[in-house]
Chain A
């Protein structure tokens, strides 16, 4: 089932480790042939279908549902409403910690946002369930929707993002601004955006007594299990979740969303296995989004283009009933050297679903504003944007004074600029045209993303036949965990990739921690590395303490593991295979465990970030304002590159997301009703292939001795940062028009 076996492939010709090899995705054949099973591909015997009825209004009360009509529809089994929803062991509105989000589980008749689930229809077929949901024809008592980010009842949240303080101040910002020779102040708007993984949220769930068998895409087994356990009052170990492949997650599949829980409730109500899959429009509400922001940046420089002060304030929004605050202003903490830096947030409550972590939460909109503002400041100083950034290069993290664990940003600037041809950029805007008369502009942005780590565990086993097994409940969201983590596992066990079985993607395995924050490869990788070291250590103990082994008495000299054998470190002529050691000890196998987590001492001593520089070329039609990004060059330094092909895809994906952010994505909300008017892929635009004709990602060499034993930083989100600003700056350079509101649409350039 979830312990899927991946097709064996020949080992690459190589010298040295599996880490660093440019392997293709090991599950690629499964995916391209349709053999890969995503959650909704499962059909346990007796399964029925659930369809959610979502609210048409953004705020109010449901006053009636035509349950009889739905029930009477052929094939409909049951209609779940607040009147008959199975009782939960815990109030879905309870919030015991910051990572517990309030869910809409039919607890009452309140409507708090458009597309909120207000009933679930269960039927023998998807069609019957869908029609049953339509037949409910709800009526509402509608209350006026709050849709204005600029509303004057704002407040300062207790914390933003994942528990950061809402404001920080270092040095004398007002003094620095007063003393500045050149100053700028500008306000930038970013819109609400909705995570829209190709695979919508889904669940296939079966109750067996008080245990649960679940197929659902999740970015975090233990946290999802814990949430379900709490809601249903059953032990977490009674909940088996399989999630071998996710069709994207981007943060929205981290914690288990309300609609998935509704599927579990529905299965309980009807006593049969249930499948529930969200419709595309239902992705615009109950599964999180990126909140809009309005950010004001103020900067001052001395006569030589060095910052004297940097102030970054972000207004954002959360839902009426829960708290998540896009930590956009915190983007200014670690990038540019300034003697004074202040960041702050405030927020309003809008009638939307609760915002959520969405790929580069805070960093994406924060970087869009900061990198635009830096460009404006460079211009005000009469400096080339790259020269200005180098003048304000932070040798130490500006807000903490800590040294960086590693920082090859200067190399990123150099290599990216060289590849792009930045040196030929004229300072003034509207200087370049192509053969068709299009305005051409070049812009750049700096990319930065923290090198986070969570907690993860892995189990390693060596078998008498000389092979190994590595087990970890990790998550492949398309980023390539099946491949990259297996490469780490092979090295950890001192074996070739085809000599190990890599098992992943299910909750009964050691938990790898949440696949988010660009921290999964670092966390899971460290756990795998530790598990390998543990089992090799045990094997070495067996050999070194056994007088019949050629390794006997190696003692402090130690042994090293390579290609399925242990070698005496001081005399490689003395070695023994794993199988020989186990056989002599009469063991079939030997097991080890490893934990991956950041080292608290190192983490408090060093600032840890991945860095990069993104260069963009845009063409703008001088009459129509239609924009096309014709060239993107990113150069990124993110420590050890486990698999260049996977990493390059992450950089590409991030940069393309940046194009989307800069030019396309935004939820169109009717300001009167609070309804999302473009909740479909026809009208909610994301970039298409024709929008990205040329993209390059340079992997800049970087060794980091401090982030973790393998030197891995994250690569999943950094590509967005830098890119959005680079495009906005390029649009300015092409047209001379500074657009401070995203996405940049053609009407602003007419």
Chain B
């Protein structure tokens, strides 16, 4: 039914209670939800418009050196915030590599985290899809699945999480701040998204009525600013989701890696943190052979979920290159073709 209730609560508390009602869905920028509603994939009974809630659209620099990104901060506003981009350049680069300028102007922080998979069978209501309609099966298996997951998938669902933004965020230990009927809590972004297992319809740890109020980057995340990159391989130069991507951040002392952060995008149903690969680099010189070994570790558990074996090797190479780029140093400005392997001369993005 397209008959839904629409409410625009004035306060966070009202939003939470409205959001707890059966069939309620929050509306932020709408760039994902509206498409899903038009296609009949999402059929909310109550649309709770939080896009104008006060106080959630700020970028706050906290006393302890952390930064809090309000849930409603627009992707473009965040990427173009000078202070933010200076401290977290790979996050800015990831945002600017996603979607189009128009979409980034509308899309919000929380909406980006909660965007749904781009699996074509999920979007096609005539297809079997365990995520959309639990228990119906998964038509992506044995279907058109060139771009599907190679890590963390299950026989119930082989989709990927499409976000670029989340990839450097998870690498930098971002924390998701949540408010809800049972009060406030926080979860690391790494633990926020769930792997499909046998319940691919459950995508995050949120329970009904819970709202994301912000995403926090801890103080130490800015310590990587000099050596942090996002790299995204895609099927056209701009305006395409990642075939696979990687965020890499290093802290170097005297040419030796003292801390490494690595995450992959487009390979799993969540932004994929590669902790073993990170650990392998500590104490090593910033050298390509170690980057290759780390990349191999990052993909050690990868298996094709269909006609997508190429993504495993591709992802390995992306991680290797991303580490190399991070070691070489963050460029002064986000490149004109953000996160692209191509240089941005004459970019036209």
Binding site for B on A (CB under 8 A): 56-57, 127, 130-131, 134, 434-436, 438, 619, 621, 623-626, 628, 663-664, 668-673, 675, 677-678, 682-683, 685, 687-694, 745-747, 750
In whole angstroms, how far apart are the Cα atoms of A746 and B147 in the complex? 12
Distance (whole angstroms) from the CB of A103 to the closest CB of chain B: 23
Assess whether A693 is in contact with B346, with CB atoms less than 8 Å apart: yes
CB-nearest residue of chain A relative to B121?
A677
In whole angstroms, how far apart are the Cα atoms of A694 and B118 in the complex? 31
Assess whether B314 is in contact with A624, with CB atoms less than 8 Å apart: yes
Assess whether A628 is in contact with B120, with CB atoms less than 8 Å apart: no
Report chain A residues within 8 Å CB of B347. 690, 693
Assess whether A685 is in contact with B235, with CB atoms less than 8 Å apart: yes
In whole angstroms, how far apart are the Cα atoms of A514 and B183 in the complex? 68
Assess whether B240 is in contact with A672, with CB atoms less than 8 Å apart: no
Question: Given A621-B341, A624-B341, A668-B120 in contact, is the A746-B349 Cβ separation under 8 Å?
Answer: no
B343 within 8 A of A: yes
Assess whether B346 is in contact with A689, with CB atoms less than 8 Å apart: no
Place the interface of chain B in its size category: 35 or more
Assess whether A663 is in contact with B236, with CB atoms less than 8 Å apart: yes
Q: What are 22 sample pairs from A and B whose C-beta atoms fall under 8 A apart?
A: A57-B126, A131-B1, A134-B40, A434-B343, A619-B342, A625-B314, A664-B235, A664-B236, A670-B127, A671-B143, A672-B143, A675-B127, A678-B120, A683-B120, A687-B236, A689-B348, A690-B349, A693-B348, A694-B346, A746-B233, A746-B235, A747-B146
In whole angstroms, how far apart are the Cα atoms of A504 and B346 in the complex? 40
Quick one: which of A626, A675, A683, A687 contacts B341, CB cutoff 8 A?
Answer: A626
Question: Given A56-B126, A670-B139, A670-B143 in contact, is the A688-B239 Cβ separation under 8 Å?
Answer: yes
Report chain A residues within 8 Å CB of B342. 436, 438, 619, 621, 626, 628
Assess whether B238 is in contact with A131, with CB atoms less than 8 Å apart: no
Assess whether A672 is in contact with B310, with CB atoms less than 8 Å apart: no
B124 within 8 A of A: yes
In whole angstroms, how far apart are the Cα atoms of A746 and B2 in the complex? 40
Report chain B residues within 8 Å CB of A625. 314
Quick one: which of A621, A623, A691 contacts B238, CB cutoff 8 A?
Answer: A691
Most buried by A among B236, B238, B346: B236
In whole angstroms, how far apart are the Cα atoms of A692 and B349 in the complex? 10
Assess whether A626 is in contact with B144, with CB atoms less than 8 Å apart: no
Quick one: which of A134, A436, A677 contacts B120, CB cutoff 8 A?
Answer: A677
In whole angstroms, how far apart are the Cα atoms of A435 and B313 in the complex? 25
Quick one: which of B2, B143, B310 contacts A750, CB cutoff 8 A?
Answer: B310
Binding site for A on B (CB under 8 A): 1-2, 40, 118, 120-121, 124-127, 139, 142-144, 146, 233-240, 243, 310, 313-314, 317-318, 320-321, 337, 341-343, 345-349
Report chain A residues within 8 Å CB of B234. 626
Report the tally of A-B residue pairs with Cβ distances under 8 A.
Answer: 104
Most buried by B among A57, A682, A690: A690
Question: Given A623-B321, A677-B121, A747-B314 in contact, is the A688-B237 Cβ separation under 8 Å?
Answer: yes
Assess whether A134 is in contact with B2, with CB atoms less than 8 Å apart: yes
In whole angstroms, how far apart are the Cα atoms of A545 and B343 in the complex? 73
Distance (whole angstroms) from the CB of A665 to the closest CB of chain B: 10
Distance (whole angstroms) from the CB of B57 to the closest CB of chain A: 26
Question: Lowest 5 CB-CB distances: which A-B pairs, in order?
Answer: A56-B126, A690-B238, A690-B237, A689-B348, A677-B120
Question: Given A628-B342, A690-B237, A693-B348 in contact, is the A668-B2 Cβ separation under 8 Å?
Answer: no
Report chain B residues within 8 Å CB of A672. 142-143
Distance (whole angstroms) from the CB of A42 to the closest CB of chain B: 24
Distance (whole angstroms) from the CB of A106 to the closest CB of chain B: 20
Question: Given A134-B2, A672-B143 in contact, is the A624-B236 Cβ separation under 8 Å?
Answer: no
Report chain B residues within 8 Å CB of A688. 236-239
In whole angstroms, how far apart are the Cα atoms of A628 and B239 in the complex? 14
Assess whether A675 is in contact with B314, with CB atoms less than 8 Å apart: no
Distance (whole angstroms) from the CB of B196 to the closest CB of chain A: 20
In whole angstroms, how far apart are the Cα atoms of A682 and B320 in the complex? 29
In whole angstroms, how far apart are the Cα atoms of A621 and B237 in the complex? 12
Report chain B residues within 8 Å CB of A131. 1-2
Quick one: which of A438, A670, A691 contacts B144, CB cutoff 8 A?
Answer: A670
CB-nearest residue of chain A relative to B99?
A682
Assess whether A624 is in contact with B310, with CB atoms less than 8 Å apart: no
CB-nearest residue of chain A relative to B307?
A747
CB-nearest residue of chain B relative to A670?
B143
Assess whether B343 is in contact with A436, with CB atoms less than 8 Å apart: yes
Report chain A residues within 8 Å CB of B345. 693
Assess whether B2 is in contact with A127, with CB atoms less than 8 Å apart: yes
In whole angstroms, how far apart are the Cα atoms of A56 and B346 in the complex? 43
Report chain B residues within 8 Å CB of A673. 126-127, 139
Most buried by A among B310, B318, B349: B310
Assess whether A689 is in contact with B236, with CB atoms less than 8 Å apart: no
Assess whether B2 is in contact with A690, with CB atoms less than 8 Å apart: no
Report chain A residues within 8 Å CB of B349. 689-690
Question: Given A621-B341, A677-B144, A693-B348 in contact, is the A685-B124 Cβ separation under 8 Å?
Answer: no
Distance (whole angstroms) from the CB of A321 to the closest CB of chain B: 22
In whole angstroms, how far apart are the Cα atoms of A438 and B317 in the complex? 15
In whole angstroms, how far apart are the Cα atoms of A624 and B118 in the complex? 22
Distance (whole angstroms) from the CB of B191 to the closest CB of chain A: 29
Report chain B residues within 8 Å CB of A692. 348
Distance (whole angstroms) from the CB of B122 to the closest CB of chain A: 11
Assess whether A691 is in contact with B142, with CB atoms less than 8 Å apart: no
Report chain A residues within 8 Å CB of B343. 434-436
Most buried by A among B2, B240, B317, B342: B342
Most buried by A among B139, B239, B321: B239
Quick one: which of B124, B235, B240, B310 contacts A675, CB cutoff 8 A?
Answer: B124
